[in-house]
Amino acid sequence: MSENNNRPIRVALLGAGTVGSQTARLLVEQSDELASRIGRPMELVGVAVLDPSSVTDPWIERSLLTTDAAELASRADIVIELIGGIEPARTFLLTAIESGASVVTANKALLAKHGPELYEAAARQGVDIYFEAAVGGAIPIVRPLRESLVGDKVLSVMGIVNGTTNYILDEMTTKGIGFDEALRDAQAKGFAEADPTADIEGHDAAAKAAIMALLAFHTDVRIDDVPVEGIAHITAGDIAAASAEHKVIKLLAVVEQTDAGISARVYPALLDETHPLATVHGSFNAVFVKAEAADDLMFYGRGAGGAPTASAVVGDVVTEARHIAQHSLGPVIPIYANLPKAPLNASKAAFAVRFLIHDRPGVLTAIAKEFSDREISINGVNQDIKPTQHDPGYSGEVQQLRIVTHLCDEITLRDAVKAVSQLDAVTGDASIIRVLN
């Protein structure tokens, strides 16, 4: 779009939900302050929503509301997409880009699936795309990976990037309650959705892992490249066993460059209580970056919520508005490395595995044999002396058996767990948690 230095920079907002509402508030209430920082005024020219009658925010003028998101996106300098999901968000952003508008989004699901397509379209049209709020809410992690560390070599990124799961695990740890009770509490306090599947199954964190991996290693990594495990199987017994060993369980997104290629994973892990990520409580997020020259860096803050996330969104809007005012562009997102994706068995880890077993002679020997046959060395064994549940058709006690292995590859470990689970004396589902040192 041709620019007049005296004309306000036109901003369109798609979506007026929790984050969208707070974004509009910041843009309207801080308009004079933001104009001073940019060097030109900004004007909110429209807010696209499905049902204008549902918008009651006093800072959003009724005249700005529209249901035609595509039309609005075509007449703005900056388009903010906060509707979420894949479609029609993808189409709206491509429409905006093709119209010459730069875009700001918090849509992790879209970027994790179609990010490279959007980055290429923006570069081709000579506009910018910013998405700080897509990974860590208010935490500035995208910009450091995209800009601050471009002169360095990132070795790994590991973080707690989902506030819902961190809140649940923290409540289980500090209050000694079970998963279901902690989830209900999280929902009651607004930390978890009515349908928490994307959070507790790890899909939300996996989308963020894909985005971080692409930025860190300049390789096309999508959400389908990210193996994921959630936390629904974590029990109060797992938490108690971790606490007894001075460890905590956290759901981690881990991306790293190995000799076998790029690995991006999401899984619950046992961390020593002295690890920086072990002290992240409640719904807070934290990301730990290791770089070759900069060494260890940690980013901490609120990973969700309307106002914190809106802060990151508006930060991107101001950055882009400055570029427009100065007739410049931000850095493109280079995807040049084309590094291979590391297979599951490329790296080794220690694992804590929990089985439910019938309390009778020979069970431990039979389980140990399955591990030994696969050359998996056992580091420790703990058997709960209290019954954990009853198994239909079995009159004796059902106990918890916890085995901690030495380093082994995951495929072999899971094969052993599958074999053990098929033993007559083993019931229920096994739990597998990595042990990170």
Q: In terms of DSSP bridges, do strands 398-405 and 154-160 run parallel, antiparallel, or are they unpaired?
A: unpaired
Q: Given the DSSP bridges, would you call strands 102-105 and 129-130 parallel, antiparallel or unpaired?
A: parallel
| 16 assigned ligand-binding residue | yes
**193 annotated to bind ligand:** yes
Helix orientation angle between 89-98 and 108-125, rounded to the nearest 10 degrees: 20
Q: Which long-range contacts (C-beta less than 8 Å, at least 24 apart) are formed by 386-391?
A: 388/237, 388/356, 389/356, 389/428, 391/356, 391/358, 391/427, 391/428
Q: Which CA distances in Å does 290 have to 213, 250, 251, 256?
A: 13, 19, 19, 9
Is 362 exposed, middle or buried (CB count within 10 Å of its CB: 0-12, 13-18, 19+)? Answer: exposed
Edge-to-edge, what's the strand order for the sheet holding 42-48?
65-66, 42-48, 9-14, 78-81, 102-105, 129-130
**Residue 237 assigned as binding residue:** no
Alpha-carbon separation of residue 374 from 214, 367, 370, 409 (angstroms): 35, 12, 7, 11
Q: Which two tokens stand for residue 379?
A: 């580091």
HSE of 228, CA atoms in CB hemisphere, 13 A = 23
Structure tokens at 155: 């070795």
Q: Is 18 labelled as part of a ligand binding site?
A: yes
Beta strands, E only, 279-319: 284-291, 295-302
Report yes or no: 154 and 287 within 8 Å, Cβ to Cβ: no
Q: CB–CB of 205/173 below 8 Å?
A: no
**Is 19 assigned a ligand-binding role in the annotation?**
yes
Q: Would the annotation count 20 as a binding residue?
A: yes
- The answer to whether the annotation marks 14 as part of a ligand binding site is yes
Is residue 15 annotated as involved in ligand binding? yes
What is the C-alpha separation between 78 and 232, in angstroms, rounded?
40
Beta strand 261-272 pairing with 247-258:
antiparallel
* 17 annotated among ligand-binding-site residues: yes
Catalytic residue among 153, 175, 189, 208, which? Answer: 208
369 is in an annotated binding site: no
Sign of CA dihedral 357, 381, 253, 235: positive
Q: Which residue has the tokens 């529209």?
A: 66
Question: How far is 86 from 269, CA to CA, in rounded Å?
Answer: 30
- 126 Rama class: left (phi>0) / alpha (psi -120 to 50) / beta: left
Task: Give just the sign of the alpha carbon dihedral 353, 249, 382, 379.
Answer: positive
Answer yes or no: 208 catalytic. yes
Which residues are annotated binding-site positions for NADPH?
Answer: 108
Which residues are annotated binding-site positions for L-homoserine?
Answer: 193
Q: Which residues are catalytic?
A: 208
Which residues are annotated binding-site positions for NADP(+)?
Answer: 14-21
